[in-house]
Amino acid sequence: MPTYVLLIEYDGTGFCGWQRQANGSAVQAVIEEALGTVLRRSHIAITGSGRTDAGVHARGQVAHFRVDRRLDMNCNQLMRSLNGVLPNTVAIHHLVEGPDRFHARFDAVQRLYHYYISLAPVVLERGFRMHFKSALDFTRMNKAAAYLLGTHHFGAFCIARSSTTNRVCTMSRATWVPEPGMGHWRFEIEADRFLHGMVRAIVGTLFMIGRGSSEPQDMQRILASMDRRAAGPAASAHGLVLEQVRYRVPLFANMEERP
Amino acid sequence: MPTYVLLIEYDGTGFCGWQRQANGSAVQAVIEEALGTVLRRSHIAITGSGRTDAGVHARGQVAHFRVDRRLDMNCNQLMRSLNGVLPNTVAIHHLVEGPDRFHARFDAVQRLYHYYISLAPVVLERGFRMHFKSALDFTRMNKAAAYLLGTHHFGAFCIARSSTTNRVCTMSRATWVPEPGMGHWRFEIEADRFLHGMVRAIVGTLFMIGRGSSEPQDMQRILASMDRRAAGPAASAHGLVLEQVRYRVPLFANMEERP
């Protein structure tokens, strides 16, 4: 069956998250509706690389959908038509015909998130950058984050009500990086998979350590506890952006790799 | 008289501009009100380095105010109190006691603006980055922009109703620079002074050249005409940000220079 793959940016502010919920507007549903309008079909289901929570943004969400026969319009036409009907909080940046059995979730090998903060009040970027009001020691935070690298059970950073039984993830990046702009930093975190609430729990724990209320070495103990209550409170959703999902084969020609 | 100097960021979206107008909310007025609230004085007038139009943003606006005697709170306390009462569309990033006769407008020697665009739909940055819907040839645009460097009469890029008689400016930078992110570019433009509507008229003219409806060399003819009708239509306000105002003496310690 012809399979189409989309690269999607969205502002998570007004959404209940990627996935349909009992209440609220889901990014997935908004794109499915746009597809229905443009292709004049009753219902086309799209599958994302993963769910993002309410308020979490994406610049590089990947999703696929399948249709029973190839579309009569080309991919660029379809992308433009979709962008024409989507709200200004969602845009499709690439749309290509993918490999036949491609699956946005199961075929993904790496996910990269950035968490954006500023130690100063945030104005122009306030929709996607969190204002952290205390001083932070980024050297301590990076020391703590280094304990997360490699393959571990991340139960300590998974929300309690999650039904996922496999809580082992392999983390390949976890670093705070300074950015241009007064007091601007971002946390880059990349792993093969993420558990529900995992990035925000890790960032919240790093804040505790950066403020001095925990030690960098405490990260080892928290990780080993496999108990969510040992970690810090979840950082606010609005600083979090899903930046990139990687697949074995590059999907989008001319796509700029984010470093 | 004690003189205080502020470095201000604002989101121009909901404002009628920097300066008070008959209608609408002005950034200047909002800060003066906040000063009145915090210092419990009836009216303190602030003077900016220059006006910005309705919808234009700033990350580096500089302003000063004078008081008859030194304040009883220190500058950091005052800055925090101001940020506590200002709306989330305005923030003070630095507040220092300046040289006695310092004047934010008359002492400024250079102003730097950035104009942000994307050739792809803009979601997260849609408040301050303009989506340009046609292809642009940035090599042509930079060739045209180079004609602006140096000292010229910029009457062709000044709104017709302006009362400013001296229309000579010295331009030290005018370049399009690619940015990270799909189809993202910014125009960096720096001069000793800018006329009313000047940056947006220049950007609009460069768009005409970048799309192929004028030639790079036409910039010479437009400049020499000193006639606003010879230039292109003004580019939308929401892509424009006042980034930095330079003075002979650095005002703010530890201030990160934007490159």
Give pLDDT tens digits for A204-250: 999 999 999 999 999 999 999 999 999 999 999 999 999 999 998 88
Spell out which chain A residues touch chain B, with contact meaning CB-CB distance below 8 angstroms.
Answer: 9-11, 57, 59, 83, 88-93, 120-124, 126-128, 180-182, 241, 255-256, 258-259
CB proximity list for B22: less than 8 A, separation 6 or greater: none
Q: Do A255 and B182 touch (CB under 8 A)?
A: yes
Residues of A in contact with B128 (CB under 8 A): 124
β-bridge pairing B150-153 and B168-178: antiparallel
Residues of B in contact with A241 (CB under 8 A): 124
CB of B12 closer than 8 Å to CB of B57: yes
- In A, minimum Cα distance to B58 occurs at A124
Instruction: Give the helix ranges, DSSP H, for chain B.
Output: 27-39, 75-85, 138-146, 198-211, 218-225
Residues of B in contact with A256 (CB under 8 A): 180-182
Q: B155 vs chain A: nearest CA distance in angstroms?
A: 31
* pLDDT at residue number B182: 85
- In A, minimum Cα distance to B80 occurs at A121
User: Which residue numbers in chain A have pLDDT < 70?
Assistant: 253-259
User: Which residue numbers in chain B have pLDDT < 70?
Assistant: 253-259
Residue with tokens 């241009």: A180
Q: Terminal CA-to-CA distance of chain B, rounded, Å?
A: 34
pLDDT tens-digit readout, B112-139: 999 999 999 999 999 999 999 999 999 9
Query: Which of A89, A121, A182 faces B83 most closely, judged by CB atoms?
Result: A121
Catalytic residue among A53, A100, A107, A137: A53
Two structure tokens written together for B110: 């250079």
Q: Do A93 and B182 touch (CB under 8 A)?
A: yes
Q: Do A258 and B180 touch (CB under 8 A)?
A: yes
Catalytic residue among B53, B68, B72, B227: B53
Two structure tokens written together for A78: 């379809």
Q: Do A123 and B181 touch (CB under 8 A)?
A: no
* pLDDT at residue number A134: 95
Q: Do A256 and B182 touch (CB under 8 A)?
A: yes
Q: Please indicate whether residue B53 is annotated as part of the active site.
A: yes
pTM over 0.90: yes
* pLDDT at residue number A259: 38
How many Å is the maximal CA-CA distance in chain B? 60
pLDDT tens-digit readout, B35-54: 999 998 878 999 999 999 99
Q: Do B93 and A182 touch (CB under 8 A)?
A: yes
* A–B interface: beta-carbon pairs under 8 A: 69
Q: Do A124 and B182 touch (CB under 8 A)?
A: no
Q: Give whole-number Cα distances, B109 to A147, B57, B81, B149, in Å.
A: 49, 20, 30, 16
The three-state secondary structure class of A35 is helix
Two structure tokens written together for B84: 């506590």
Q: B99 vs chain A: nearest CA distance in angstroms?
A: 24
CB of B112 closer than 8 Å to CB of B244: yes
Residue with tokens 């929709």: A127
The enclosing H or E element of A108 equals strand A108-118
Q: Do B11 and A123 touch (CB under 8 A)?
A: yes
* pLDDT at residue number B254: 53
